[in-house]
Structure 1
Amino acid sequence: MASGLDSVEEILRDDSALAQTAKDLTAGTAGGIAQVLVGQPFDIVKVRMQTASAGTYAGMGDCARKIFVNEGPMAFYKGTLTPLLGIGVCVSIQFAALQSVKRTFAERNLRAGRGGTGGEELGAGQLFVAGAIAGLANGVVSGPVEHIRIRLQTQPASAPLYKGPWGAISTIYSQHGLAGIYKGQVPTFLREGVGYGAYFWAYETLMQREMRLRRCRREEVPALWAVGFGAAAGYALWATIYPFDVLKSRIQTDSFGASRQYKGTLDCARKLWAAEGVRGFTRGLGPTLLRSPFANGATFIAFELAYRALS
């Protein structure tokens, strides 16, 4: 009689829609965990620079030094539990949505007699739309996850407002309800839709090109190429969405209620432009660009390796 583990493996190796979704979610979770572990130290520097008053930090190195001196080395992983759990879920949703839409487009291509073998060679528009849908699906979870993470990353070390992620969720929800948890959701959706359209377009275009050049299937492309493709995809992501990310961070660290500084996304953009001009929308870009190839390379190689192991 087959063991429980054997039964799970049989389910995962089944080609049914449910089993395929399970593969997508599992591989996406692996990618999300890798992304958080590699990218979190860079992310906290980015958030601190995005949300601090002008002149607080002389640059990326100064910000990192002050965090290290004032709060210790573990401060670079402050608020990590939330993204480790949440971003794993986010990225799994993201990849599951992406793969599902890609399969839908491949079926349409096959019926129309285009897209190569199995219709799987998607056009640029199809890849962008698949990525945008994946980003919007992901945004439902990533918005509150990043809100809680940013609150924890920016709270004062000497007098913290929240005792960990669950304390932050409980306090915010009790005082401001679900709307408080989803604070900053408009720029989050703008960021996810546009950014992940560009992100997955870049990655999948490079992967398809490699498959054409090698005349091979996806699983035959060396897994290490995913690191380079992921790095390029990360730069495509941030090149298109960084201003949205700044607005999201500003709104998510703003006060609640009558004492809040911004009335909404447009008001935040207008006030930031009036106060700092273009510089205000690019603050923290240095650590983001430094983080991007490492975090996104780790995301995609973890996804590819996990997906191939399950297939």
Structure 2
Amino acid sequence: MSSDFVAGYVSGAVGILIGNPLDLVKVRLQARRGDESLRASSQGHGYFETKSSLIKGAAAPILGYGALNALLFVAYNRSLKFLDPSVINPTNLDANVSLMNIWLAGAAGGMASWVISSPTELVKCRTQLSRNQNISSWTVFRDILRVQGVRGLYFGGLITSIRDSVGYGFYFWSYELCKRSLSSLDDSSQQEALKVLLCGGVAGIITWASVFPLDVVKTRLQAQPFIAHTVSEVPDFQRRLLPPTSSSRPRILNSLEIARDAYRSEGFSVFFRGLGICSVRAFIVNAAQWAVYEWLMKEFNRASTAPHVSM
């Protein structure tokens, strides 16, 4: 198993553990209507039903996003080497490497990771939006397979792939641009660590800012109930996302209909609702992810170059 796959998997799992509580708030902000309250019931803990809600929906991302992050970094590294054969170590790029090639390699990595990100995002989103404490990631995953099969796991896959491709292009581009801007700093281990943390955090904010309207539409799209469910089985906060048809089941809207309906009912600002909390989460999570990834890659490189002592 390649070192960048392992480093990507571990750093992705660490990021999910750190950022899940803020991600839950972000998803619920994106999905709610302007006249709805985000807070839980009076018996709850603020925005969460119980203290265990802090990790609600984390199981799917820890399993899926770890693999997603691993696939992302592997695809990015391989794509960058293909676009620029002079690249030897993608974690320590020469200043002559084109930022456009870095963006394209990041976009390729984002597109490759869609295979995992689409079902992971769907399960995470629907789990986080449920106020029922008996609903887990596994429950949601199992119900999707039972009702719609494997194809159902890729509901909202097109907009997810566009979001990931554009977003991860800016992710790697902004991280490298930030590192080059801070190249005048000393190369001491402490300064290097601070540089990685800062650039990782900045890259996370820029990434989400570049695709946040797409993410809002994706969240609302994936928050829609299954076609097989009747309106009476759908929670109120999800039922109000869609105008019911004359039948007992709500009509499923596509991405353009979701965007148009959101703009007409809540204005342009709806596409940036939750960006503040998302930016805070993005800085913390991506600072940690890049720090873990670069540290692991350095350890793997050190181990591979260390002399082997024969017995």
Q: TM-score range by the shorter chain?
A: 0.7 to 0.9
Structure 1, gaps ≥5 residues long: 1-18, 111-116
Distance 1:78 1:103, change over 3 A: same
Q: What corresponds to 2:194 in structure 1?
A: 224
Distance 1:181 1:209, change over 3 A: same
Alignment of 1:298 with 2:288, yes or no, is yes
Pairwise CA distance, 1:151: 1.1
Alignment of 1:152 with 2:127, yes or no, is yes
Pairwise CA distance, 1:53: 2.2
More deviation, 222-231/120-129: 120-129
Alignment of 1:90 with 2:68, yes or no, is yes
Distance 1:75 1:124, change over 3 A: same
Give the Cα separation in 2 of the matches to 1:97 and 1:66. Answer: 46
The superposition leaves residues 81-110 of structure 1 with CA deviations (integer Å, 9 ceiling, x where unpaired) of 111111111111111111112222331679
The answer to whether the 8 A contact 1:150-1:252 is kept is yes
Read off the aligned partner of 2:144 and give its amino acid letter: I
Q: Among the aligned pairs, what percent are the same residue?
A: 29
Figure out how many residues of one structure are paired with residues of the other and give that number: 277
Q: What corresponds to 1:308 in structure 2?
A: 298
Q: What corresponds to 1:81 in structure 2?
A: 59
Give the Cα separation in 1 of the matches to 2:216 and 2:295. Answer: 33
Give the Cα separation in 1 of the matches to 2:41 and 2:68. Answer: 27
1:253 corresponds, among 213, 223, 226, to 223
Q: What corresponds to 1:113 in structure 2?
A: none
Read off the aligned partner of 2:222 and give its amino acid letter: Q
1:275 is paired with a residue of what secondary structure?
Answer: helix
The answer to whether the 8 A contact 1:35-1:298 is kept is yes
Give the Cα separation in 2 of the matches to 1:268 and 1:31. Answer: 33
Two-structure CA RMSD over aligned residues (Å): 2.8
Q: TM-score, normalised by structure 1?
A: 0.81
Structure 2, gaps ≥5 residues long: 229-248, 302-311
Distance 1:261 1:301, change over 3 A: farther
Q: What corresponds to 1:68 in structure 2?
A: 45
Alignment of 1:107 with 2:97, yes or no, is no
The answer to whether the 8 A contact 1:186-1:265 is kept is no
Distance 1:48 1:118, change over 3 A: closer
1:24 is paired with a residue of what secondary structure?
Answer: helix
1:107 is paired with a residue of what secondary structure?
Answer: coil
Q: What corresponds to 1:207 in structure 2?
A: 179
The superposition leaves residues 110-138 of structure 1 with CA deviations (integer Å, 9 ceiling, x where unpaired) of 9xxxxxx9967321211110111111111
Give the Cα separation in 1 of the matches to 2:261 and 2:93. Answer: 51
Alignment of 1:138 with 2:138, yes or no, is no
1:164-203 aligned at under 5 Å gives the runs: 164-203=136-175
1:267-282 aligned at under 5 Å gives the runs: 267-282=257-272
Read off the aligned partner of 1:247 and give its amino acid letter: V
Pairwise CA distance, 1:226: 0.9
Distance 1:152 1:265, change over 3 A: same
2:29 corresponds, among 49, 56, 63, to 49
Give the Cα separation in 1 of the matches to 2:42 and 2:288. Answer: 25
Q: What corresponds to 1:23 in structure 2?
A: 3
The superposition leaves residues 207-254 of structure 1 with CA deviations (integer Å, 9 ceiling, x where unpaired) of 24445x36979x997133111001110111011100110111111110
Read off the aligned partner of 1:40 and give its amino acid letter: N
Give the Cα separation in 2 of the matches to 1:232 and 1:197. Answer: 14
Q: What corresponds to 1:128 in structure 2?
A: 103
Q: What corresponds to 1:37 in structure 2?
A: 17
Read off the aligned partner of 1:86 and give its amino acid letter: G
Give the Cα separation in 2 of the matches to 1:118 and 1:25. Answer: 19
Give the Cα separation in 2 of the matches to 1:99 and 1:67. Answer: 45
The answer to whether the 8 A contact 2:212-2:271 is kept is yes
Pairwise CA distance, 1:261: 4.3
Give the Cα separation in 2 of the matches to 1:64 and 1:103. Answer: 52
Read off the aligned partner of 1:295 and give its amino acid letter: V
Pairwise CA distance, 1:279: 2.1
The answer to whether the 8 A contact 2:40-2:49 is kept is no
Q: What corresponds to 1:3 in structure 2?
A: none
Q: What corresponds to 1:233 in structure 2?
A: 203
Q: TM-score, normalised by structure 2?
A: 0.81
